[in-house]
Amino acid sequence: MTAAVEAPPARRPQSWLKPVSLHGGWRSAIWFLLPALIGFVAFYLYPALRGVYISFTDWNLIANRGDWVGTDNYERLLDDRQVWESLKITFRYTIINIVSQTILAVAIAVLMDRLTKSVLIRGILLFPWLIPNVIVALLWVWMLDGNLGVVNEFLGWFGMEPVRFFTDTDKVIPTLAGINTWRHMGYTALLIFAGLQTIPKSLYEAAALDGASEGQMFKDVTIPLLRPILALVLVITVVGSLQVFDTVFVATGGFGGQPGGPANASRVIYLYIYQYAFDFNQLGYAATVSVLLVVILLAITFLQLKLLRAGESDLA
Amino acid sequence: MTNIADRIENLGSALEPSARLRRLGIGRGAAWLILIAILVVSLFPFWWALRTGLSTNGNLFAGDQSLLPVGYTDNNFERVLGTASEAEILESLGRENTGSFDFLQSLKVSVIVATAITVGQVLFSAMAAYAFARLKFWGRDKLFFLFLSGLMIPPIFTLIPNLVLVKNLGWLNSYPGIIAPFFFMTPFAVFFLRQFFLGISREVEEAALLDGAGNFRTFFGIIVPMSAAPIATLSILTYITAWNEFLWPLVVARAPERQPLTVALGQFTAQQPGTSPDWSGLMAGTLLAALPIIVIFLIFGRKVVDSIGFSGIK
């Protein structure tokens, strides 16, 4: 690295930069960084700061301006019972997702680990994850239709009454979570499967020699060593579930329904923000609610990584 | 890599032959059955959509749940593509046409948007990733960390300010408006490529620099060709993500002629009546809208599958 290199002729020696390097400091780096830097500042950094500012205004999209209103929006947020209701719905959706998705994904991953490494099978499992949410929602709205849906036909074979998956206020959130689980279980399973490949086989052999049963090996070898990947999966699932929007918007908004329906039973927090911003044209308040969501997301991520000590595996 | 189960089985049978073997033997058969059931569940909705798209609404509403199309017709696909005649529409739809959208126009928008985003995002992210991996400049690691922290910003948080910005620029209902926020970089793309660039041996690169090649020639002549595989993987993932994007185009592109397929399908759904919706047309349109993704996956499936587990973020 320290080998003296003749700088290309066009480049002048650098004086103002401390680490005079082989590659020539900011002067040459800037050309590599400029487009990404423009994008980052314009569409990440600036809007993040501006989002906080907008949350202190009564921004109106038609005029595309707003006046400073101080902490009015935040005071309103504390008194807004609907926002807490919406959060409750979102958490319910998230919890159902975590449980169903993690259990299914671990099961699939362990099955694959035992049976096959076939790329075809992994591809089939991953496939639903690549399909747009809008399309996934439509496929399932049709299959779960209360009158003509094939799922109800199937349930009928077992003597069950038709289920009103989307029109029953108690069932709509579990239904949406189920659809999301269907889309994500293969992807999550592949992540866990990748994690399983990192566990040394010698540990299982040693356990087998000690007379451990399959169940014991799963509990005492697999799970502890999978902890980093499980932590990651959990964070991805939780953060993703808290931000659900497309599926809810399309699945509940079609066929004469209201997005978030029936009776706001599926109005998740993203949809709540969307409605305030674009249906009610109260962008200031919508920004305030999204500040709240960011705080929740950051806190949950931080807590999870902390609790699960994600960085360390027992393998170290 | 030989199967762990097999090796354990060997070990186990050496210890207590009959019992262990029998247990695993039954377990294996049952395990295959479960896995196959899961695969069927993963694929069945697509078959059901195809079967529905090839049926007539009249037969569907009669409640026929046959696994094969009921009253086979390809009119629905023609309807979606806009090539069906009045008589054909009436036959497959069973009533007057109520809602519709210009599928080919939306397909064009989706292709343009996803292509532009992929080219821009991958190129610019790769350049930035190279700077972060190889060049030395003041504040490099701090800047990289700042970029990474962008991963923590949920899209809804930047949605409103970005929309305000795009409106100020006069880019509502335009390609630049739909494309811009994804065009220059994503923190994930920079992170993903930086990991690969860090792994490339410096020797080749330094030889090129000694020969007087500038950073740009080194980057495009050596680094990019050597990283063809991860760049291809990232491009595929970026294309699919851009194709699937819904919320941003939904708020930016209110005009039908600038709506990508996801948004147009969503709007079409919202126009469907609660009683006797156009299921066959909807499923035909749904499948056609997913077709490009299906084709990409059939061609590049292995790359996509192998990329899962690389970082776990995507």
Category of A24 on φ-ψ map: left (φ > 0), alpha (ψ -120 to 50) or beta: left
B201 touches A: beta carbon within 8 Å: no
Q: Comparing C-alpha atoms, which of B177, B131, B289, B313 is closest to residue B234?
A: B313
Q: Could you tell me the fold of the domain covering A40-307?
A: MetI-like fold (1.10.3720)
Q: Comparing C-alpha atoms, which of B77, B45, B282 is closest to residue A144?
A: B45
Q: What is the ipTM of this complex?
A: 0.86
pLDDT in tens, A243-254: 999 999 999 987
The fraction of chain A above a pLDDT of 70, given in percent, is 90
Q: Which chain A residue shows the shortest CA-CA distance from B299?
A: A123
Grade residue A18 by pLDDT with cuts at 50, 70 and 90: very low
Q: Cα-Cα-Cα-Cα dihedral of B207, B209, B212, B214, to 10°?
A: 150
The whole-chain average pLDDT of chain A stands at 86
Where are the alpha helices (H) located in B135-186, listed in sequence order? 140-149, 155-168, 175-183
Structure-block tokens of residue A267? 């109005």
Contact B183, B121 (CB under 8 A): yes
Q: Which chain B residue shows the shortest CA-CA distance from A191?
A: B309
Residue of B42, B127, B190 lying closest to A124 (CB–CB): B42
How many CB atoms within 10 Å of residue B206?
Answer: 15
**pLDDT for B290:** 92
**pLDDT for B142:** 92
Cβ <8 Å between B293 and A121: no
B30 touches A: beta carbon within 8 Å: no
Per-residue pLDDT of chain B (314 residues; tens, 9 = 90+): 445 555 545 444 444 434 444 445 557 888 899 999 999 999 999 999 999 988 888 888 877 788 888 888 888 888 888 776 666 766 666 665 555 778 899 999 999 999 999 999 999 999 999 999 988 888 899 999 999 888 888 888 999 999 999 999 999 999 999 999 999 999 999 999 998 898 888 888 888 878 877 888 889 988 899 899 899 999 999 999 999 999 999 999 999 999 999 999 998 888 887 777 888 888 999 999 999 999 999 998 888 888 876 544 33
Cβ <8 Å between B65 and A153: yes
Cβ <8 Å between A36 and B283: no
Strand partners, A149: none
**Count of all residues that appear for chain A in the document:** 316
Q: Is the pLDDT of residue A270 over 60?
A: yes
Cβ <8 Å between A31 and B216: yes
Angle at A265 between CA A263 and CA A271, to 5 degrees: 100
Instruction: Provide the whole-model pTM.
Output: 0.87
Contact B36, A112 (CB under 8 A): no
Q: Report how far residue B46's alpha carbon sits from residue A136's, in angstroms, rounded to the nearest whole number.
A: 9
Q: Report how far residue B196's alpha carbon sits from residue B219's, in angstroms, rounded to the nearest whole number.
A: 13
Comparing A44-53, A98-107, A195-204, which segment has the lowest mean pLDDT?
Answer: A195-204
Q: Distance from CA of residue A209 to its chain's centroid?
A: 41
Sign of CA dihedral A164, A169, A170, A174: positive
**pLDDT for B94:** 61
Cβ <8 Å between A236 and B313: yes
**pLDDT for A208:** 85
Grade residue A17 by pLDDT with cuts at 50, 70 and 90: very low
**pLDDT for B92:** 64
Q: Report how far residue A150's alpha carbon sits from residue A142's, in angstroms, rounded to the nearest whole number.
A: 8
Q: Is the pLDDT of residue A187 over 80?
A: yes
The fraction of chain A above a pLDDT of 90, given in percent, is 54
Q: Report how far residue B179's alpha carbon sits from residue A303's, in angstroms, rounded to the nearest whole number.
A: 35
**pLDDT for B19:** 43
**pLDDT for A219:** 84
- A28 or A158, which is more confident: A158
Q: Report how far residue B212's alpha carbon sits from residue B207's, in angstroms, rounded to the nearest whole number.
A: 9
